[in-house]
Structure 1
Amino acid sequence: MNSATEGIELVLDDPGLQALREAARLSPDNLPLRRHLAEQLLTRGYLADAEAEFRAALVLAPQDADVTAGLAEAFVRQSAYGAALSALEPFLAAPGYPPRLGIVAARALLGEGETSKAAYRYHEAVSRDPSVADSELESRMTIPAVAPSGPPAPVHAPLEEKPGEVERSKLTFADVAGMDAVKESLRIKLLLPIQQPELFAAYGKRAGGGVLLYGPPGAGKTHLARAAAGELGASFVDVGLADILDMYVGSSERNLRATFDLARRNRPCVLFFDEVDALAARRSDMRQAHTRQLVNQFLAELDGVDQNANEGVLVLAATNAPWYIDGAFRRPGRFDQMVFVPPPDAAARAAILRILCRDKPLAEMDFDAVARATEQMVGADLKGVVDRAVEVKLQQSISAGRPIPMSTADLLAAAKGTRPTAVREWLATARNYVLHANESGAWDELMPWIKAK
């Protein structure tokens, strides 16, 4: 008898679970009942059955975080770590996700051998809600020190510093569709001081500084940062959270310092921090001293030990949630310029589609028509549209034995089956801040765009 059959028979032998399952069968649209049944199955170890019930509950409530956490937990216990992370990904990409999801993600990442990423997810979740702490999970993320003689290594022992890698970006602003106002802001703030140093020196302006790019997910902030580095011919260092955050107290600060030192040794250099709200969150929201210390270290690195320390280092940061960033980062000399990266308008969407399709076999295309059919889609969504159309065309070409050009109709068909990812949800959050929490005027740049929507 296989394990799946054994699980079903054991369930049927349990009167309580049998009654719950019968009730769910009679009332299939009762979400609380299905969720309760799934959780009971998970608690008692009937993992395949729990997975099936969580899936059924998700059909009723696709955005339910608790159901998603339960499904991911069922995956983790079955060693399906990739499936667990895929289920959690839409929630983890948004700021302020329920801490329980971070704990489940940590278990999945640990199962895949991603100890550093697991430690980040775990400590980030516990810093927001200490009640989700799991000592057994935490102990599995601790790398034991091998010390056959002498005193044991201290808990705060530093790990090896791990700055990012220096790249040379091949992108330029010509590869960025639309965003003319954004590109001009970056040109004046970051590029021209290095390209025309004598002119800026005459006015006492030095090459270097920081710009915070913000806007909805997928709007092209990372793409824009790479293009800025390519436009300048500068080194580019793409800093991810895993490059900085570490489970040992003090190691995250050392990693951050090493990253800035790397940029200073390779100037002119564009230093890019994605998801910077995780490194620069408001200190008033933090419950643990070591996370506040990381923010202090970040501020100190932006200031530099003297006025020339960061000359030639252009610091770009991107976030979907600028309202969660500590106000100290917006002071002069730090991220003193905030640049809104909006979702592309119709003209920009058409330009993005032209760039995405420029190396593919094409019939006569009406990109403007496709742009009109992709309202509220960002660059990432449009790439998905093109990828889907290409997949269909590839199947047709394989059957025909020759390349068949892609047409406007192909893109329109792919667009019809694609939903915008996150602009609507981001817009709702942004509107709340612009209309109800803008006493300082920080979100004035957003006001016209919000009112237009």
Structure 2
Amino acid sequence: MLDDAGLQALREAARFSPDNLPLRRHLADQLLTKGYLAEAEAEYRAALMLAPQDPGITTGLAEAFTRQSSYGAALSILEPHLAAPGYPPRMGVIAASALLGEGDMAGAGYRYHEAVSRDPSAADPDLAARLAAPPVVTPPQPVVAPPDLPHDTSAEVERSRFTFADVAGMDAVKEALRIKLLLPLQQPELFAAFGKRAGGGVLLYGPPGAGKTHLARAAAGELGAAFVNVGLADILDMYIGSSERNLRAVFEMARRNRPCVLFFDEVDALAARRSDMRQAHTRQLVNQFLAELDGVDESANEGVLVLAATNAPWYVDVAFRRPGRFDQLVFVPPPDAAARAAILRLLCRDKPLAEMDYDAVARITDQFTGADLKGLVDRAVEAKLQQSISAGRPIPLSTPDLLAVARQVKPTAVREWLATARNYVMHANESGAWDELMPWIKGAR
């Protein structure tokens, strides 16, 4: 959340006048100057939708990417401009910084000196010093794995002890998962009559901490299926070709243990837009992912339910939303008041309790996610434990304990996520992919 009153006022003005390009660009520039990099990126993206060829906006977005270490993304948007003569010198300096971040010292030096020779005022002393200094460490380059290197995945098959009864609220989300993933396995004859196979993919998206991983585990538990939780460390490897083999091994594991829920967290890191990638081996990983989702034949993934979660669905390659892959996007919103009360009830059910008014706590925890509420309960329990140790006996947790903590803490991520989501919904939704977000965006404060 922004703690600068001036920026808050600018953002509010931009919200009421979303097509005012000078205002939106000024807001983006100010956010970048004051170090709000993610917010600046979102505003530059929105401005770029209004003026796609504006070199100044492109340069600002590239600088936001570079300062967040997203060097490939910065170079991807700069390359069309750098290919034309007479590009702005400031753009060349930002390109040099991104090239240096990727370890291309020679390319960075060329870009920097060419830009500064045309406009000495664009010079960046810190960058110039880094270019002049000898490199201390050469960034590791991907190398091909030896033929005998093992490629077994580190992901493991689990059995979830959670069901949908352990997930408070989210009734619409649970119903969508039942129809898409669970019922075809639970009632195969009925679905076979309509030519529907058991299997498929759903992409869960929403702000951090909203319960996407917990929901995936509950889906596996509801079905009594195996559960494979795939993290980035289970897939990504420094050797060319190994990441693709690890991904194939994960799918093979799921097929051997069907019915199985195969869950990919932070899937945007494995399924990013290929247009944003500059290296062929990273694009090949996306191609391998698409091939595994399709299967070698139409029954290859029958009984394999593929769930994925992301906080940034707009960065996922559009090919993943094709029918037969992640053809259903399911928004997992922050819990409403009733769901927050239910979550608090679940979190407190195994603790010594006085008479509790969960609705009262829910009313003052607007925009708290499930993770925020767990943190709230944990802090209240820690305070109560200190009292109990002093008293020499357990002192029950009470409503005032939760209310006291709730007044001190703030929700962690919803407001920032909301600002980014609003830009995509309002300015980058030509395909209608984010229509589901529209009512929530308009209703959120």
TM-score after normalising by structure 2: 0.71
Gaps (5+ residues) in structure 2? 1-33, 39-63, 72-94, 105-134
Counterpart of 2:400 (choices 409, 416, 431) is 409
Offset from partner CA, 1:304-334 (integer Å, 9 cap, x none) = 0000000000000000000000000000000
Letter in 2 for 1:196: Q
Give the 3 Å change call, closer, same or farther, for CA 96–258 of structure 1 in structure 2.
farther
For the residue of structure 2 that corresponds to 1:272, the secondary structure is strand
Determine if contact 2:228/2:260 at 8 Å carries over to the other structure. yes
| Correspondence 1:360-371 to 2 at 5 A | 360-371=351-362
| Correspondence 1:204-353 to 2 at 5 A | 204-353=195-344
For the residue of structure 2 that corresponds to 1:207, the secondary structure is coil
- Distance in structure 2 (CA, Å) of the matches to 1:96 and 1:409: 44
Letter in 2 for 1:253: E
Determine if contact 1:162/1:244 at 8 Å carries over to the other structure. no
- Distance in structure 2 (CA, Å) of the matches to 1:138 and 1:424: 39
Q: CA deviation at 1:373?
A: 1.1
Give the 3 Å change call, closer, same or farther, for CA 337–155 of structure 1 in structure 2.
closer
- Distance in structure 2 (CA, Å) of the matches to 1:426 and 1:433: 11
For the residue of structure 1 that corresponds to 2:275, the secondary structure is helix
Determine if contact 2:37/2:67 at 8 Å carries over to the other structure. no
Residue of structure 2 in register with 1:157 after alignment: 146
Q: CA deviation at 1:414?
A: 1.1
Q: CA deviation at 1:130?
A: 3.8
Determine if contact 2:234/2:246 at 8 Å carries over to the other structure. yes
Determine if contact 1:99/1:129 at 8 Å carries over to the other structure. no
- Distance in structure 1 (CA, Å) of the matches to 2:137 and 2:345: 49
Q: CA deviation at 1:419?
A: 1.1
Residue of structure 2 in register with 1:444 after alignment: 435
Determine if contact 1:161/1:255 at 8 Å carries over to the other structure. yes
Letter in 2 for 1:275: E
Determine if contact 1:229/1:236 at 8 Å carries over to the other structure. yes
Letter in 2 for 1:207: A
Determine if contact 1:165/1:238 at 8 Å carries over to the other structure. yes
Residue of structure 1 in register with 2:101 after alignment: 132
Query: Once the two structures are aligned, what percentage of the paired residues are identical?
Result: 78
Residue of structure 2 in register with 1:392 after alignment: 383
Q: CA deviation at 1:206?
A: 0.2
Q: CA deviation at 1:215?
A: 0.3
Q: CA deviation at 1:62?
A: 9.0
Give the 3 Å change call, closer, same or farther, for CA 64–298 of structure 1 in structure 2.
closer
Gaps (5+ residues) in structure 1? 1-60, 66-94, 103-125, 144-153
Counterpart of 2:184 (choices 190, 193, 205) is 193
For the residue of structure 1 that corresponds to 2:203, the secondary structure is strand
Residue of structure 1 in register with 2:413 after alignment: 422
Residue of structure 1 in register with 2:163 after alignment: 172
Residue of structure 2 in register with 1:118 after alignment: none
Determine if contact 2:66/2:98 at 8 Å carries over to the other structure. no
Offset from partner CA, 1:239-276 (integer Å, 9 cap, x none) = 00000001111110000000000000000000000000
- Distance in structure 1 (CA, Å) of the matches to 2:397 and 2:319: 50
| Correspondence 1:42-81 to 2 at 5 A | none
Q: CA deviation at 1:100?
A: 3.9
For the residue of structure 1 that corresponds to 2:195, the secondary structure is coil
Q: CA deviation at 1:417?
A: 1.7
Determine if contact 2:37/2:68 at 8 Å carries over to the other structure. no
Coordinate RMSD, CA, aligned:
2.5
Letter in 2 for 1:252: S
- Distance in structure 1 (CA, Å) of the matches to 2:35 and 2:403: 26
- Distance in structure 2 (CA, Å) of the matches to 1:434 and 1:64: 20
Letter in 2 for 1:160: P
Q: CA deviation at 1:210?
A: 0.1
Letter in 2 for 1:412: L
Q: CA deviation at 1:439?
A: 0.8
For the residue of structure 1 that corresponds to 2:239, the secondary structure is coil
- Distance in structure 1 (CA, Å) of the matches to 2:146 and 2:209: 38
For the residue of structure 2 that corresponds to 1:210, the secondary structure is strand
- Distance in structure 1 (CA, Å) of the matches to 2:65 and 2:334: 22
Q: CA deviation at 1:418?
A: 1.2
Residue of structure 1 in register with 2:369 after alignment: 378
Letter in 2 for 1:271: L
Determine if contact 1:162/1:243 at 8 Å carries over to the other structure. no
How many residues in Structure 1 have an aligned counterpart in Structure 2? Answer: 331
For the residue of structure 2 that corresponds to 1:440, the secondary structure is coil
Q: CA deviation at 1:139?
A: 6.0
Determine if contact 1:169/1:230 at 8 Å carries over to the other structure. yes
Residue of structure 2 in register with 1:34 after alignment: none
Q: Which has the higher contact order (CA 8 A, sep 6+)?
A: 2
Letter in 1 for 2:217: R
Letter in 2 for 1:265: R
Q: CA deviation at 1:222?
A: 0.2
- Distance in structure 1 (CA, Å) of the matches to 2:267 and 2:295: 19
- Distance in structure 2 (CA, Å) of the matches to 1:240 and 1:224: 16
For the residue of structure 1 that corresponds to 2:240, the secondary structure is coil
Letter in 1 for 2:214: H
Residue of structure 2 in register with 1:32 after alignment: none
